[in-house]
Amino acid sequence: MTASSGLPVRVDLLTGHFDAINVQHKSTCMRDLQGVFSDDAARKALPEDFEVYHVEMLASPQQEGELHTGTTHLMPGKVADEFFMTRGHFHQRREQAEFYFGLRGEGILLLQPENAPAYTEQVFAGSVHHIPSFTAHRLVNTGHDVLSALAVWPVIAGHDYQSLQPDGFRIRVFDRDGKVSLEVAGV
Ligand SMILES: O=P(O)(O)OC[C@H]1O[C@H](O)[C@H](O)[C@@H](O)[C@@H]1O
């Protein structure tokens, strides 16, 4: 008797698109990002149904010990001078870590530990990022193309957006005369 090998799910490593049944999609539009950018009036002036980013995810068993896998596709663009970015979050379960893998485009990963200064890592095709436990994270697209990053994180991690309010991340990323500028809030 010959053992047969099942066809695995596939991911296109140039784009992060999954070829699988039951791929889940979550879209985040300009209207959903109230209070995220420093110039909220400029955000409101942009089309509310413009999709800033979307996430495609494989279906995972919803139980402790399992992992989520998903790709975030973040569009290029700016709200006033501030580059497009994800909302960003801590994990509800703070002790849970995550990995990001840059696939295409150029950007910055903002990392903000609960009790230490914020820091950043460059994101590019082939970059690997360990997001430690107790650390909020946000992607910023500083390039001219879509920024796509594959993520793997525990199903039990959850999202905590609220703890970053009202001030958000301490580092913001702006386009200043064509240069990428990392600016620390309140300095
Ligand atoms: O949840 P956001 O901050 O909007 O980021 C969008 C998504 O980015 C990555 O894929 C994360 O691992 C997801 O957990 C997150 O939902």
Q: What is the count of structural domains for the chain?
A: 1
Please give the pLDDT value at position 118: 96
Q: Given this model, what pLDDT does residue 187 score?
A: 62
CB of 70 closer than 6 A to ligand 1?
Answer: yes
Residue 163 alpha carbon to ligand 1 centre in Å: 15
The answer to whether residue 95 sits within a structural domain is yes
pTM, entire model: 0.96
Inside any domain, residue 5: no
Whether 86 contacts 32, CB under 8 Å: no
Looking from the CA of residue 70, the nearest atom of ligand 1 is 10
Q: Which domain holds residue 124?
A: 11-184
At 44, phi and psi to the nearest 5? -65, -30
Q: What is the pLDDT of residue 41?
A: 98
Partners of 137 in beta bridges: 89, 111
Q: According to the model, what pLDDT value does residue 5 have?
A: 81
Q: Is 178 inside a domain boundary?
A: yes
Q: How far is the CA of 81 from the centre of ligand 1 (A)?
A: 23
On whether residue 170 sits in a domain, the answer given is yes
Ligand 1 site, residue 69, Cβ cutoff 6 A: no
Q: Judge whether 84 lies within some domain.
A: yes
**Residues 44, 33, 128, 133, CA torsion sign:** positive
Taking the CA of residue 89 as reference, the ligand 1 atom at the shortest distance is 3
Say how many Å lie between the CA of residue 88 and the centre of ligand 1.
Answer: 7
pLDDT digit string (tens) for the chain, length 187 residues:
667 788 899 999 999 999 999 999 999 999 999 999 999 999 999 999 999 999 999 999 999 999 999 999 999 999 999 999 999 999 999 999 999 999 999 999 999 999 999 999 999 999 999 999 999 999 999 999 999 999 999 999 999 999 998 778 999 999 999 999 999 986 6
Domain containing 140 — which CATH number?
2.60.120.10
State if residue 16 touches ligand 1 by the CB under 6 angstroms criterion.
no
Instruction: Give the CA angle between residues 70, 35, 57 to the nearest 5°.
Output: 10
Nearest CA to ligand 1 atom 8: 72
> In this structure, is residue 133 part of a structural domain?
yes
Query: How much distance in Å is there from the Cα of 139 to the middle of ligand 1?
Result: 9
Do 174 and 183 touch, CB atoms closer than 8 A? yes
